[in-house]
Structure formats: C-alpha cells, structure tokens
Amino acid sequence: MRPGEPSKNRILKHITRRRLYLIIGILAIVFLVIGYLTYTDNSPLFQKNTLYISESKLQKNEISQKENTLLKIKVNNKSGKNYENVIVQITTKTPRLEISPTNKEIKTKYENKILQRGEHEYLLNTYIPLGLGKGEESRLHSFEITGNLYPGLLSMKVEIEVRIIGNGEKTDSKNFQLKINS
C-alpha cells in the first residue's frame, strides 16, 4: 500500500457517513412536510371529522363603551353523521358584555351559570334550525357585541368563547379577546 492512498476502512466510513447524512436530510424534509400539512390543515388526512367552526372572525378586537363589534361564525359538518340539535354557544365571564344575534328571527336562550369557584358564566345559545346534515355548512351567524366598563376602570379585557354543541356534546371551541376602553 502506498503512503498517500486511503484505506478501505476510511473509504467505507466516508461513504457510510454520506449515506447517513442523506437519510437524515430526507427524514427532516418528510417531517417538515407532515408538520406543514398538519399546521395548514389542507390535507384530507388531517381534516376534522366532526362538527367544527369553519369560519370565525371578531370584527374589532378593541372598542370603546359606545361602539360595538361583530362576531361572525360559520359551522361545518365534515362527519358522516347528521346533527339534529346544533347550538352555537357564546360564553363570557363578565355581565358587562351584551351579545345579541343580528338576525332577530333566530331562536336564542340566555343563561347565567354559577361555576364552582363562585365565578359567573354568561351564555347565549343560538340554535341552528333543522341541524346540519352530512357535509353541510351553516350560514354565517353574526352577533353584535357591546360592552360597558365597571365604574372606575379605564379599560378591561374580556374573554369570549364560542362553543359548538352537536347532539349534546361539545365538538369545537374558539376563544377571542376583546378590549373595552373608556
């Protein structure tokens, strides 16, 4: 063997190392693609297979006491079953928020619940007439929200939770924050 020539072991180590880097690179790309598909929810493999909020938007995240904002919700049924009783439930923990549907013909029910720790939960239940069949999407539901501050406060943040309840079970929820200024 000549002094400047690499040995067979050295060549094998070099080839093995290159293959290892190639395999790690391919696995990293596969995991990145799976992560992207999961994050964007574009693949049918990762789509929700139940009743869920397909569109939701709070028009303004910050309002004054005399202003109002709109909350828009759309519900989609991707599951293989029919939901006869579908409720869009909007909850908040402050009585200083007034939430009402923009369509006055919708059947609504207001509730005031006392939670375990002495906290209150204020609920607005709106019912989707006739429910949602397989693959159906509801119309866009709009709610007008106005708020008042407690005396002495200059501003406050309010948490609003939208829940979708199908046939008595909660299937999806989304949280919003609204800031009310004086």
- The predicted pLDDT at position 28 comes to 96
| pLDDT at position 11 over 70 | yes
Domain positions in the chain are: 1-47, 51-181
- The CATH fold assigned to 51-181 is Immunoglobulin-like (2.60.40)
Tokens 């029919």 sit on residue: 82
Which tens digit of pLDDT belongs to each residue from 15-68? 889 999 999 999 999 999 888 877 665 445 545 567 888 999 999 999 998 899
- The dihedrals phi and psi of 33, each to the nearest 5 degrees, come to -65, -45
Q: Is the Cβ–Cβ distance between 130 and 136 less than 8 Å?
A: no
Residue with tokens 């596969």: 30
pTM: 0.70
Q: So what's the pLDDT on residue 107?
A: 87
Residue 113: the pLDDT is 82
Burial code (b: 16+ CB inside 10 Å, e: under 16) for 6-30 equals: eeeeeeeeeeeeeeeeeeeeeeeee
Instruction: Tell me how far the alpha carbon of residue 105 is from its chain's centroid.
Output: 27
Dist. CA 159–CA 175, nearest whole Å = 7
More confident residue, 18 or 11: 18
**For 69, left (φ over 0), alpha (ψ -120 to 50), or beta?**
beta
* Range picked from 2-11, 55-64, 95-104 for highest mean pLDDT: 55-64
pLDDT tens digits, one per residue of 104-157: 888 889 888 877 777 788 999 999 888 888 889 999 999 999 999 989 999 999
Structure token pair of residue 80: 């293989």
